[in-house]
Amino acid sequence: MKGNFVDITRREIYPAEIIVEGGKIVSIIKQPLSPSPTLPGGKSHQPHSISLKQDANNNTDTPKSGSAQPREAPPPEGYGEASFILPGFIDAHVHIESSMLIPSEFARLAVVHGTVATVSDPHEIANVCGIAGVEFMIKNGSTVPFKFYFGAPSCVPATTFETAGATLNSKDVEALLQRDEIKYLTEMMNFPGVLNGDEEVLKKIAAAQKVHKPVDGHAPGLRGDAAKKYIDAGISTDHECFTKEEAIDKLQNGMKIIIREGSAAKNFNALIDLLHDYPEQIMFCSDDKHPDSLVEGHINQLCARAVAKGIDVFSVLRAACINPVLHYKLDVGLLKKGDAADFIVVKDLENFEVLQTYINGELVADGRKSKISLPSTVHSSEPPINNFHCTKKKVEDFVVPFTTPHLPFIVIEALDGQLITNKLIAEPKVMGGKIVSDVEHDILKIVVVNRYNDAPIAKAFIKNFGVTHGAIASSVAHESHNIVAVGVDDESICRAVNLIIEHQGGISLTPGPSHQSGEGGSLAHLPPKGEMAETQPLPNQDSSIKKDTDLSEGRAVDNFRGAILALPVAGLMSNEDGYKIAEELLQLMG
């Protein structure tokens, strides 16, 4: 195999021969110079070529044998001499559940993009299934050659405004943190709790500190003294900054900033220039990564975009490959002698097209193909994990009577491509004594149906959603995974909700009231816990969601999976006056 060895810390690229034995790098031998690779920006580096040797023992093309004799692997066809070898990419903060895939399936897709590890917060599944959900993620993740690192969820339930399926108290969190597989305490969303010295919150942080594991932050918009106090409480990362100024504030107080560019929130453009000045304090993450975008790319795309913006390639790779390993103390190899043989081969350092991915010396992706097959464990005999107990609803359950004309009619405004939401005062559309969806002004009814028991349905109205007929519903709704539905008429909403109840989870669409469009509706079924696709290969899964986007003006599905899925925590809690909005909404719903 030929390529160029990228030594990120020493900021050098040179030809070398890498010897891998037993899944580890046993030596790196510099090679004589030969033709020259071109660095981003047209700079020609010293001429190099590399040969990477691998032992037969770890070549995944052949079953493991007892042989430890190193041999030279054949060069991958068409890769030429100019390929580059570097440590693998790491997503430093991701909720695997948001991909609607179980971990093994997530890994199968991610390795194609050179991702070798994720720092994953299992709080979505923990909100639904508690510790059993966390166990499920660890166990399923361990069935594939991929490095999943999970944390102990810090905020289950995420909010007191919504009913979740489970609670993890400080004792549960402490027990999880004792375990070797658990690497950190996950995003401390309850920043008011930190600032006000909430006893349970402080106990959870102390439990992490006791075992020397880091505590992740989540404090959108927190600045100045409040930010300092939050950081001083022992919280060392934040992935929620949406302005450079906010990030600089936090960086200067010693925090690490994880630049987030996912399917929901996109902060890359606002923050990427910080990498010039803070290469040691920055990482990359997706936070929420929907299946369609995971098929397209992952951290490799962020590297390409950063380099295209003129950021030094070594700083970019430091953020993408090295900083997460050091911060979370991950046993991911960094291409040093004795390290696990975790590395990737990329075609160039501009587009970062991934040619091969190795984890523990095993070839897990070759070309555009994943070597991780849909494992038999996916079809295991274990019953799917779920927590779903409500019964079907009636159309009348969704009616909003117009009873309080003197109260302002508060509407949630979904902001395109962002997690935050606004509130607006609008004129309600009243028909037959009921407040109904106002398609003309794009103000639609939104409901939250408790999945865990038959509680009353919460109802409100939302602007800027784009659905023009029918309804859309989902049980993939951060953080509590109750059923959230938005629609034009109550019958469509009710049918969309009932489709999900019938199948104990998923995403559904109904085209309109039955007198206009029949009883039709479609559902993407996503067990376990009605959130992740267990058996269905991904592209089909998503196309069934995508093909129905013509139900709306096109924005609906994106907005649904962005702003609305994140509504309870991001829209209500993290907005500056989020608590106020939440209170007013509750009044409105009450």
Contact (Cβ atoms closer than 8 angstroms) between residue 214 and residue 255: no
φ and ψ at 488, to 5 degrees?
-90, -40
Distance CA 233, CA 210 (A): 14
Of the ranges 169-177, 217-225, 293-301, 395-403, which one interacts with Zn ion (CB under 5 A)? 217-225
Q: How far is the CB of 239 from Zn ion (least distance, A)?
A: 6
Taking alpha carbons only, the member of 220, 146, 160 closest to residue 187 is 220
Contacts with Zn ion in 453-472 (CB under 5 A)? none
Contact (Cβ atoms closer than 8 angstroms) between residue 48 and residue 4: yes
Contacts with Zn ion in 161-190 (CB under 5 A)? 187
Residue placing its CB nearer to Zn ion in the complex, 187 or 491: 187
* Residue 442 CA: distances (Å) to CA of 51, 201, 419: 60, 40, 19
Contacts with Zn ion in 273-312 (CB under 5 A)? 287
Residue placing its CB nearer to Zn ion in the complex, 371 or 561: 561
Distance CA 289, CA 295 (A): 10
Q: How far is the CB of 123 from Zn ion (least distance, A)?
A: 8
Q: How far is the CB of 381 from Zn ion (least distance, A)?
A: 32
User: Which residues sit opposite 362 in a β-bridge?
Assistant: 359
Q: How far is the CB of 216 from Zn ion (least distance, A)?
A: 8
Residue placing its CB nearer to Zn ion in the complex, 222 or 524: 222
Q: How far is the CB of 160 from Zn ion (least distance, A)?
A: 18
Contacts with Zn ion in 14-53 (CB under 5 A)? none
Q: DSSP class of residue 196?
A: T
Binding of Zn ion by 218 (CB under 5 A): yes
Coil, strand or helix at 81: coil
Residue placing its CB nearer to Zn ion in the complex, 213 or 218: 218
For the window 118-147, what string marks contact with Zn ion as x by the rule CB under 5 A? ------------------------------
Q: How far is the CB of 33 from Zn ion (least distance, A)?
A: 45
- Binding residues with Zn ion: total (CB under 5 A): 3
Please count the CA atoms within 13 angstroms of the CA of 278 that sit on its side-chain side.
21
Residue placing its CB nearer to Zn ion in the complex, 289 or 371: 289
Distance CA 306, CA 270 (A): 12
Residue placing its CB nearer to Zn ion in the complex, 194 or 471: 194
CA 586 to chain centre: 29
Distance CA 30, CA 43 (A): 21
Of the ranges 75-83, 214-222, 302-310, 393-401, which one interacts with Zn ion (CB under 5 A)? 214-222
Residue placing its CB nearer to Zn ion in the complex, 247 or 372: 247
Interacting residues of 146 by C-beta distance below 8 A, sequence separation 6+: 103, 104, 107, 110, 111, 116, 117, 359, 364, 372
CA 252 to chain centre: 26
Question: Closest residue (Cβ) to Zn ion?
Answer: 218
Contacts with Zn ion in 423-442 (CB under 5 A)? none
Coil, strand or helix at 439: helix
Q: How far is the CB of 93 from Zn ion (least distance, A)?
A: 6
Element (H, E) at 473: strand 471-474
In single-letter form, the type of residue at position 434 comes to K
Residue placing its CB nearer to Zn ion in the complex, 241 or 472: 241
* Residue 54 CA: distances (Å) to CA of 2, 20, 22, 348: 12, 5, 10, 22
Contact (Cβ atoms closer than 8 angstroms) between residue 32 and residue 47: no
Binding of Zn ion by 260 (CB under 5 A): no
Residue placing its CB nearer to Zn ion in the complex, 261 or 287: 287
Of the ranges 213-221, 263-271, 316-324, 505-513, which one interacts with Zn ion (CB under 5 A)? 213-221
Residue placing its CB nearer to Zn ion in the complex, 107 or 258: 258
Residue placing its CB nearer to Zn ion in the complex, 172 or 187: 187
Q: How far is the CB of 220 from Zn ion (least distance, A)?
A: 8
Q: How far is the CB of 240 from Zn ion (least distance, A)?
A: 5
Q: How far is the CB of 438 from Zn ion (least distance, A)?
A: 32
Q: What string of DSSP letters covers 224-254?
A: HHHHHHHHHTTEEEE----SHHHHHHHHHTT
Q: How far is the CB of 566 from Zn ion (least distance, A)?
A: 9
In single-letter form, the type of residue at position 41 comes to G
Binding site for Zn ion (CB under 5 A): 187, 218, 287
